[in-house]
Structure formats: structure tokens, C-alpha cells
Amino acid sequence: MPCYAIDGIRPVVDPTAHVHPTAVLIGDVIVGPGAYIGPLASLRGDFGRIVIERGANVQDNCVMHGFPGSDTVVEENGHIGHGAVLHGCVVRRDALVGMNAVVMDEAEVGTQTIVAACAFVRAGLKLPPRSLVAGLPAKVVRELTESEMAWKREGTAVYQDLTRRCHASLVECSPLTEAEPDRPRMPAPDVKPLVATKREGA
């Protein structure tokens, strides 16, 4: 992986974490046990500290950065969707930040809270636990249901399993020129999009 020290400070990656070879880690970055860092994620600890705690995931094309002296933190089992931007904020334990959402400086995403895709969480906003948050700017919509929190936990567990799969079998290769007969499919864990879960429960 592209990994750079700056001012003598080197990133730290727990041996049980998976950092994709195209992700970039710079300076004061700490990636904890069992964490997953996806392709093309950028974790820039060249001003403030970046911390990814145990079992959290930061998916493809995410950006994490902060002002000097700040910490940008994803706590245990945090879940950061594709393309999200976190800047000088804290995402608490078991929370989810959706795809292409932005969470700004000194904001706090509460424990088990879900920030919807494309939401904008303004600087300094403290979001309560177990809430669904959406909009531009982001606002609390309602409290999460038990089934929504269970759906989030299942999705995070899938990424924790992906970390193990990557350690076991991810290798760089050349593509085939055509699909082979009876081409196998990827393992299909029993997790569905939230909209499908709600539809089935209706």
C-alpha cells in the first residue's frame, strides 16, 4: 500500500486489519484490529490524527482528514460508505455514515446512528444515539428501529468477514480474456439492502 511517514511519524496498521494496496496512508494514522480500508481511500494524518478502531470499515474512495491538532475517529464497528468524507469529526461506536455523505469538523455522529447517503453534517453538530439522520443540511428524522440497527450490524459483520477473506485470498492477477464456463459466483452472505428489508417486513 502507499504508506508515507511525515515529520518522522509513520502510520500504524494492526496485522489483522486489511488496507487495500491502492489506499493511501500518510503520517499519524492508526488502523486497529480487524478493520477494513477499501480501494483508493485516502487517510491523511499530515495535520491531525486519524484513528480507525477495531472492526470498523472505511470503504472505497473515502477521504479522512482534519485540521492541526484535531482527531478524526471512527470508533469500534463504525461503518463508512463509499465516497464519504470525514473531516475532524468523530463517528461513534456502531454508527454508519452513508455513501457520499460529508461529516464536518467537530461534528459527532452518535452511537448506533445512521447518516443517510449524500447527507451533509455541518461543523459542530452533535447527533444523538440511535437516530436516522438525512438531508442538506442533515437533520434528525427519527429514532432507528431495532430492525434497522440489526441491518447495520449485519452489514458491518459482512465487511469484517471481507477483511478475513482479503487476508486469505486477495491477490493481484491478470484478467481472463473471456468468462469461463460455469463461472463461480462470490459468496452471498444473508444481507440485503435496507429498502428490501423494509419491504419484506411490511
Rounded CA gap, 8 and 75, in Å?
26
CA-based Rg of the chain, rounded to a whole angstrom? 17
Domain boundaries, the chain: 3-143
Rounded CA gap, 102 and 72, in Å?
13
Residues of the chain with pLDDT under 50: 202
The CATH number of 3-143 is 2.160.10.10
The tens digit of pLDDT for each residue in 50-109 reads 999 999 999 999 999 999 999 999 999 999 999 999 999 999 999 999 999 999 999 999
pTM, to two decimals: 0.91
